[in-house]
Amino acid sequence: MIHQAMFSFTAITFVTRNVAKSCMAPLIAIIWIVLASINTPTAAAPLIQQIGATLSHPWGMDFLDDQHLFVTERGGNLYLVNLLTGERDTIANVPTVQATRQGGMLDVAVHQNPDDGSVTVYLCYSLLIGDKTVTAIDKAKFGGIDLTDRQTIFKANNQEISAIHYGCRLAIDQQYLYASLGDRGNRHDAQNPSLHGGAVIRLLHDGTPAPNNPNLRGWAPEILSKGHRNPQGLAINPETGVLWAHEHGPRGGDEINIINAGHNYGWPKVSHGKEYLGGSIGSGTSAPGLTDPVWVWTPSIAPSGMAFYKGDMFPFLNGHLLVGSLKFKQLYLVVLENGLPARESVMMDGAIGRVRDVAIAYDGSVLLLSDEEEGGLYRIAEAGQ
Ligand SMILES: [Ca+2]
């Protein structure tokens, strides 16, 4: 049972911030919102520290093990970062990406085979085909140094000139690889089930469509759900095994959705947002046959990255969602009650720039990527840990 007062945040203390460019330079800043009402003696304000050298527009991350983290840069790099020393290796044999506007090297997901310990790395990125681009996914082996046996296992079938709304987040479990795909700026594609635009897809680890996908009449076989705008958050709820996603709305109307197979999440037939130039979108905020979001942000926070907290370092966060905000440069806590979002708080405000991705480390510390020209990887941990 979570005590209500534990989420009564009151103050931000921001002590100092040094720009750190060398490995593990001492960047120490107290920025977490102080838990004023928490009634335990261990509620000291956590610290945030940059890990390793500056990263240029880092976008996605996933763990190799408890000490090593893969991190992408949108410009096309994949690094393996040592979380203890901050040192990093550049991983060779990554795909060539079209790093224009919102495109580039996007998310990374890692799967370790429980039988033989072999490691497979999945990369989501924007691929140039002629004068257009698509969201694509590559799969490769990781043998400790570089990627090998790399193959492209998915290319979205909606080729576009635009360089926006690629998505793309990846999530993986022992059975499936999930990816979130944006509408590429062609909103009506999100309602065309033969197209991959505005969809969440579910693949087997080899890239073939999951055999239990909806496969409704006219649906592409990879598609799990439709009617999404530009989803850049994807996470599997560890309590239920169910996939959650969030997406950018237009002007207002950012959403969190619980992904059900065969559901249509409405874009652009319904939305809580407005056109950028004014005016409503579609028929309103809800309609029969379209699945409503479980959480809405208006005004938009521009959400990117999402993680269910599970760990020992911050027990009061267990089971709840952490969501990054690009626009407000914040980290949001979305508190769940009875399995649904009930309220939110701003956990971190403005300390590292645009928050692009969120992950929970093995020790329960919170890792963030800041999507800035001189951005980086940051770790929020209790003082002394
Ligand atoms: Ca929706």
Q: Indicate which residue of 68, 111, 165, 248 is catalytic.
A: 165
Centroid of ligand 1 to alpha carbon of 157 (angstroms): 22
Centroid of ligand 1 to alpha carbon of 190 (angstroms): 11
pLDDT digits (tens, 9 = 90+) for 341-350: 999 999 999 9
165 is catalytic: yes
Exposure string (b/e) for 30-68, b if CB count within 10 Å is 16 or more?
A: bbbbbbeebeeeebebbbbbbbbbbbebbbbbbbbeeee
Centroid of ligand 1 to alpha carbon of 290 (angstroms): 8
pLDDT digits (tens, 9 = 90+) for 216-270: 999 999 999 999 999 999 999 999 999 999 999 999 999 999 999 999 999 999 9
Centroid of ligand 1 to alpha carbon of 120 (angstroms): 32
Nearest to 123 by CA among 73, 176, 198, 48: 73
Q: pLDDT at position 44, please?
A: 59
Centroid of ligand 1 to alpha carbon of 251 (angstroms): 13
Task: Record the pTM.
Answer: 0.91
CATH of 4-381 given 2.120.10.30, 1.10.10.10, 1.10.3810.10, 3.30.70.890: 2.120.10.30
Lowest mean pLDDT among 11-25, 94-108, 198-212, 351-365: 11-25
Domain boundaries, the chain: 4-381
**Element spanning 153, H or E:** strand 147-155
